[in-house]
A = this chain, B = another copy of it.
Amino acid sequence: MDQPFPLPAPMRRALELARAAAAAGEVPIGAVVTRDGAIIGEGENRNRRDNDPTAHAEIVAIRAAAQALGDFRLTGCDLWVTLEPCPMCAGAISHARIARLYYALPDAKGGGVEHGARVFARPQCTHRPEIYGGLAETEASALLRDFFAARR
Contacts and interface: CB of A to CB of B under 8 A. Distances in A.
A123 interface: yes
A135 interface: no
A115 B109 contact: no
Interface in A110-135: 110-112, 115-119, 122-125
B112 A116 contact: no
B116 A125 contact: yes
A72 B49 CA distance: 9
A47 interface: yes
A47 B91 CA distance: 14
B50 A72 contact: yes
Interface in A40-66: 47-48, 50-55, 59, 62-63, 66
Nearest to A59: B54
Number of copies of this chain that the complex holds:
2
A70 B54 CA distance: 14
B53 A95 contact: yes
A92 B94 CA distance: 15
Interface string A87-99: 1111110111100
A118 B51 CA distance: 26
A67 interface: yes
A117 B122 contact: yes
Given A123-B116, A125-B116, A67 B87 contact: no
3 residue pairs, one from A and one from B, having the closest CB atoms: A88-B91, A116-B124, A53-B96
8 contacts: A50-B72, A51-B71, A53-B63, A87-B88, A87-B117, A91-B117, A111-B124, A117-B125
